[in-house]
């Protein structure tokens, strides 16, 4: 009898990507970034996924030019295709507004940074609001993939894509469990 992984209490929670393969959405996002910047100017700080109630949210945190932090988030819907197989359909990608760490900006670039900030502040409020909210890209019906859960316990999740390439994740946080209500019926 197969373990029905989608019903396992271990699947939900926050997981860190330790290794990801060629078909992974994480590698896709990383490749997109690193093709545009030399490796010494851009790096992936960390990447994790939160799985809860049939949904997944992958978050990649990057640092560009040693002083710009950027976050990309991919949201997806998970559906059960079998006891161990699931389908992931991407719903939305969000490119959050980059944050500049002013203390790390080289002295020769501080003037340019000041001009850029001043220019953004002069934009009409609706445009500033869009910039502040990040860029949302609808992905419904665009990308999907099948994967198998090869191994799952309290600390490790190993998934394989359709080509058999693994993704290895380690648990960061377990899902929040409901705290039972304490009823005190003490009579004096």
pLDDT tens digits for range 56-97: 999 988 887 778 898 989 999 999 998 889 999 999 989 888
Domain-located, residue 184 = no
pLDDT score for 66 = 77
Task: Work out the pLDDT band at 24, boundaries 50, 70, 90.
Answer: low
pLDDT score for 186 = 45
Spatial CA neighbour of 60 closest among 52, 50, 51? 50
pLDDT score for 33 = 60
Whether residue 154 sits in one domain with residue 75:
yes
Please tell me which residue, 89 or 132, carries the higher pLDDT value.
89
pLDDT score for 19 = 86
Please tell me which residue, 186 or 138, carries the higher pLDDT value.
138
pLDDT score for 104 = 81
Domain-located, residue 186 = no
Residue 150 structural domain: 5-96+134-172
Whether residue 145 sits in one domain with residue 89:
yes
Whether residue 64 sits in one domain with residue 9:
yes
pLDDT score for 156 = 96
pLDDT exceeds cutoff 80 at 1: no
Report the number of distinct structural domains present in the chain: 2
53: number of Cβ within 10 Å: 7
Whether residue 113 sits in one domain with residue 25:
no
In the DSSP assignment, the letter for residue 139 is -
pLDDT exceeds cutoff 90 at 36: no
Average pLDDT, the chain: 81
Give CA separation, 77 vs 112, 144, 170, 188, in Å: 41, 9, 21, 53
Whether residue 91 sits in one domain with residue 112:
no
| Residues above pLDDT 90, as percent of the chain | 31
pLDDT score for 105 = 80
């Amino acid at each position: 009898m197969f373990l029905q992984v989608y019903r396992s209490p271990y699947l939900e929670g926050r997981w860190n990507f330790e290794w990801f393969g060629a078909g992974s959405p994480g590698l896709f996002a990383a490749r997109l970034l690193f093709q545009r910047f030399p490796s010494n100017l851009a790096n992936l700080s960390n990447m994790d996924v939160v799985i809860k109630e049939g949904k997944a949210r992958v978050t990649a945190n990057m640092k560009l030019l040693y002083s710009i932090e950027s976050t990309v988030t991919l949201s997806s819907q998970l559906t059960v295709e079998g006891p161990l197989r699931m389908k992931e359909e991407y719903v939305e990608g969000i490119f959050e507004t980059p944050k500049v760490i002013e203390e790390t900006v080289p002295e020769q670039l501080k003037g340019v940074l000041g001009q850029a900030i001043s220019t953004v502040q002069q934009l009409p409020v609706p445009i500033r609001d869009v910039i502040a909210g990040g860029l949302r890209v609808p992905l419904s019906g665009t990308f999907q993939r099948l994967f198998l859960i090869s191994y799952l316990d309290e600390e490790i999740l190993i998934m394989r894509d359709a080509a058999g390439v693994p993704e290895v994740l380690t648990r960061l946080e377990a899902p929040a469990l409901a705290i039972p209500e304490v009823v005190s019926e003490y009579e004096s």
